[in-house]
């Protein structure tokens, strides 16, 4: 019976892809999950709850396509995103980067309301379920905000349009855009509630743990430039999980496929929480030789993260921690890892003028990435130099994890680290300046036409 309730509910939610359909549907109370066991089934719907946007990776400087490769990718908003087109989405495009997070939010709201309505169940189980709902809602809103809204600015965040905050499962409630400040306030409330409620360890890596909530909080605080709290959260996460995978012990030939990382995601000790980006981009993660050359010849990531494309002179990324199960092209990994926590803390140390600690954290990571007999610890003469080194290593380690766009947006605020992006195709040069409106994706036309939401300028 429980499984049937879940299936019917999932069928209803699947119909909520468009806002008009979402508003038209009136679920019956008897079809809505009610107890802790029902909520657990919803939370364990991995293909819903662990999906994150991935469109941002298309527009960053990590992706490089030759003219032939560009012609082979889907001739829709993939191509338009790659060239930073102002007219990005067609009116009938189904943008999962928008709809998938809101589906997660709908699940989380339903669970939180259900817990309030039904006090039955062991408190420990109730706490875990509520903590997971808080985590997922925070994570979904964070990803939405960094895809469809401006970079957080303390001076303007109260006026900058964010995304609609939906804090109930009432599909008839009015839809308006909340400010960036309001959405971040809710995100931080949710993630801090999750930290209090989640268990130290989760049964599965597709379930958030307390370490995962600390990692999410660290990522959030880094994005908004609160380096003290980002450091605190990274340290708290590392106190719970700090084992790194030694790439010297990983055999590049051990992969059952030629397009996946040769260590299963379940057995990888540095994976804290599993999530994946929307998958239409997975087969097209090519990088230029310029990006490849960022890696030292003794850097083991060159063989574990990339494969050279025959007769083309360029490289394809194959380093996603997602092993793909039965498919040789899994959705790219976008979850949380111990490596990311070390990089967050190293950046915070550098920004707080603690050069030695910054390089210490960075070298703790890199000794597990370089050939053992060739590794030389990196040094920096100043906090500024340390920060530049950390940011370079962050880009190399976290490539194609739906993080580069966030980094570009936050770093572009500082002229010293701002980057002008360029691409050339068919003798035409495309340029994206720091702070350009095109760093913010437009809200899908289906949503603006149905709800009259304010559209992002392009």
Mean pLDDT of the 15-26 span: 40
Query: Which range (284-293, 339-348, 430-439) has the least confidence?
Result: 284-293
pLDDT of 189 > 80? The answer is: yes
The residue that leads in pLDDT, 393 or 33, is: 393
CA distances in angstroms from 245 to 52, 249, 300, 427, listed in the order given:
24, 8, 12, 43
pLDDT at 323: 75
> Residue 267: inside a domain, yes or no?
yes
Q: For 76-125, what is each residue's pLDDT tens digit?
A: 889 999 999 999 999 988 899 999 999 999 999 999 999 999 988 899 99
pLDDT at 23 over 50: no
In this prediction, residue 359 has a pLDDT band, given cuts at 50, 70 and 90, of very high
Q: What is the mean pLDDT of residues 39-43?
A: 96
CA 278 to chain centre: 10
In 3D space, the residue among 102, 99, 104, 5 whose CA is nearest the CA of residue 45 turns out to be: 104
* Domain containing residue 387: CATH number: 1.25.40.390
Kindly give, in sequence order, each residue whose CB lies less than 8 Å from that of residue 227, ignoring residues fewer than 6 positions away. Answer: 221, 347, 348, 351, 352
Q: Which domain holds residue 344?
A: 233-406
Between 1 and 430, the more confident residue is: 430
pLDDT level of residue 73 (50, 70, 90 thresholds): confident
Residue-level pLDDT at 24: 36
Single out the residue of 435, 451, 432 nearest to residue 443, CA to CA.
Answer: 451
> What is the pLDDT, as a whole number, of residue 44?
96
Digit-coded pLDDT (tens) for 115-162 = 999 988 899 999 999 999 999 999 999 999 999 999 999 999 999 999
In the chain, the number of structural domains is 1
Residue 434 counted as domain residue: no
Write 265-270 long-range contacts (CB < 8 A, 24+).
Answer: 265/205, 265/321, 265/322, 265/323, 265/333, 266/205, 268/321, 269/243, 269/244, 269/245, 269/338, 270/241, 270/243, 270/244, 270/245, 270/337, 270/338, 270/339
Residue 188 counted as domain residue? no
User: Is residue 62 in a domain?
Assistant: no
Among residues of the chain, what percentage have pLDDT more than 90?
74
Would you state the pLDDT for residue 285?
Answer: 83
Give the model's confidence band at 258: pLDDT under 50 very low, under 70 low, under 90 confident, else very high. Answer: low
Residue 324 pLDDT: 53
Between the two ends of the chain, the Cα-to-Cα distance in Å is 49
Whether the pLDDT of residue 4 is over 80: the answer is: no
Answer whether residue 455 is part of any domain: no
Specify whether the CB–CB gap between 17 and 241 falls below 8 A. no
pLDDT at 251 over 50: yes
pLDDT at position 14, please?
Answer: 47
- Is residue 304 assigned to a domain? yes
> 411 near 388, Cβ under 8 Å?
no
Band (256; pLDDT cuts 50, 70, 90):
low
- Residue 72 placed within a domain: no
Q: How far apart are CA 157 and CA 179, in angstroms?
A: 7
pLDDT at 327 over 60: no
**Residue 262 maps to a domain:** yes
This prediction has a pTM of: 0.93
How much is the pLDDT for 120? 86
């Amino acid at each position: 019976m429980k499984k049937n309730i879940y299936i019917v509910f999932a069928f209803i939610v699947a119909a909520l892809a468009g806002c008009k359909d979402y508003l038209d549907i009136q679920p019956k109370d008897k079809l809505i999950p009610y107890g802790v066991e029902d909520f657990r089934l919803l939370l364990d719907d991995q293909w819903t709850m662990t999906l994150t946007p991935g469109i941002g990776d298309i527009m960053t400087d990590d992706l490089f396509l030759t003219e032939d490769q560009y012609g082979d990718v889907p001739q829709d908003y993939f191509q338009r995103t790659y060239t930073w087109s102002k007219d990005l989405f067609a009116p009938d495009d189904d943008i999962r980067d928008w709809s998938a997070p809101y589906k997660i939010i709908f699940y989380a709201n339903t669970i939180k309301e259900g817990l309030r309505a039904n006090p039955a169940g062991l408190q420990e189980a109730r706490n875990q379920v509520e903590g997971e709902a808080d985590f997922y809602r925070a994570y979904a809103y964070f990803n939405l905000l960094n895809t469809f809204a401006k970079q957080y600015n303390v001076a303007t965040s109260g006026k900058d349009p964010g995304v609609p905050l939906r804090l109930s499962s009432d599909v008839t409630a009015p839809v308006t855009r909340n400010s960036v400040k309001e959405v971040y306030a809710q995100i931080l409330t949710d993630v801090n509630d999750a930290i209090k409620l989640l268990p130290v360890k989760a049964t599965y890596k597709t379930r958030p743990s307390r370490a995962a909530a600390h990692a999410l909080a660290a990522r959030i605080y880094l994005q908004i430039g609160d380096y003290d709290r980002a450091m605190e959260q990274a340290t708290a996460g590392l106190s719970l999980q700090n084992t790194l995978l030694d790439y010297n012990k990983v055999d590049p030939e051990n992969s059952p496929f030629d397009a996946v990382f040769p260590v299963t995601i379940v057995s990888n000790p540095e994976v804290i929480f599993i999530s994946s980006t929307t998958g239409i981009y997975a087969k097209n993660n090519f990088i230029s030789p310029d990006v490849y050359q960022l890696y030292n010849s003794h850097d083991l990531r060159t063989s574990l993260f990339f494969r050279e494309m025959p007769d083309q002179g360029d490289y394809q990324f194959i380093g996603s921690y997602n092993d793909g199960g039965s498919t040789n092209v899994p959705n790219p990994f976008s979850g949380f890892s111990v490596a990311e926590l070390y990089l967050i803390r190293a950046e915070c140390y550098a920004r707080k003028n603690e050069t030695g600690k910054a390089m210490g954290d960075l070298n703790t990571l890199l000794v597990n990435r370089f050939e053992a007999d060739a590794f030389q610890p990196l040094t920096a003469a100043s906090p500024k130099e340390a920060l530049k080194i950390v940011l370079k290593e962050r880009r190399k380690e976290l490539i194609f994890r739906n993080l580069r766009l966030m980094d570009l947006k936050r770093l572009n605020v500082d002229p010293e680290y701002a980057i002008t992006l360029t691409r050339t195709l068919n003798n035409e040069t495309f340029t994206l300046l720091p702070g350009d409106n095109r760093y913010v994706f437009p809200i899908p036309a289906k949503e603006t036409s149905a709800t009259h939401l304010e559209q992002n300028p392009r």
